[in-house]
Amino acid sequence: MRGLCFPVATSETQDPGMLALRGDLAASFSVLAELGYAGAELMIRDVKALSVREIARMAHDHGLVIPAVSTGQCRKEDGLQLCSPDSTLRRRSVDRTKEVLDFAAELGAIVNIGALRGTLPDRALGVESLVELLAHSPRIAVEPQCKWVSNWIHTVDDALELIRECGGLSILFDVYHAELEEPSVPAAMVMAGERISWVQFSDSNRKAPGWGHWNFTEYERMLTAVGYQGYVSVECLPWPSAREAAAQAVRWLKRPSAREE
End-to-end CA distance of the chain: 12
pLDDT value at position 181? Answer: 98
The amino acid that residue 98 corresponds to is: K
Residue 97 CB burial class (10 angstroms; 0-12, 13-18, ≥19)? buried
What pLDDT, in 10s, does the model give residues 150-188?
999 999 999 999 999 998 999 999 999 999 999 999 999
**Dist CA 250 CA 228 (whole Å):** 20
Q: Dihedrals φ, ψ of 112, to 5°?
A: -95, 130
pLDDT value at position 1? Answer: 64
Residues 6+ apart with CB under 8 A from 238: 18, 19, 20, 21, 245
DSSP string, 13-49: ---TT-SSB-S-HHHHHHHHHHHT--EEEEE-S-GGG
Confidence of residue 255 (pLDDT cuts 50, 70, 90): confident
From 3.20.20.150, 2.170.150.70, 1.10.540.10, 1.10.287.3510, which CATH number describes the 4-260 domain? 3.20.20.150
What pLDDT, in 10s, does the model give residues 54-75?
999 999 999 999 999 999 999 9
Give the global pTM.
Answer: 0.96
